Amino acid sequence: MDSDALVERLRPLLKELQEPESSDAARVLALVTTPGEDDRRELNRLTELLGRRSARAVPFAVLGRARLAELAGSPRDAAALCIDCERRLELIGY
């Protein structure tokens, strides 16, 4: 599954997150869909924050890490992280 498909799977989960997780996760989705080289630092910060929060926020962090791997020129790592994101979504019932 690619990152665009994962973004669509993650969107409904946004409403289940509390603040500030919800706004951080929404920003990760925005950065994944319209990335820029200048956004790496923000994406890295948000993935670190979301990775430390509730189980429902972790898939957003994993998708952010996948995008960072793509930006770093590591498609194999990005693909593995997308698979990990999909598994984490399945674990929480999405």
| pLDDT tens, N- to C-terminus, the chain (94 residues) | 788 899 999 999 999 999 999 999 999 999 999 867 778 999 999 999 999 988 899 999 999 999 999 989 999 999 999 999 999 999 998 8
- Could you give the CA distance from residue 25 to residue 19 in angstroms, rounded to a whole number? 10
Looking at residue 94, the DSSP 8-state letter turns out to be -
User: Which amino acid is present at 30?
Assistant: A
The token pair that represents 22 in the structure block: 């919800």
pTM: 0.93
The token pair that represents 66 in the structure block: 């996948």
> What integer pLDDT is reported at residue 34 of this predicted model?
83
- Could you give the CA distance from residue 13 to residue 42 in angstroms, rounded to a whole number? 21
Q: What percent of the chain is modeled with pLDDT above 90? A: 80
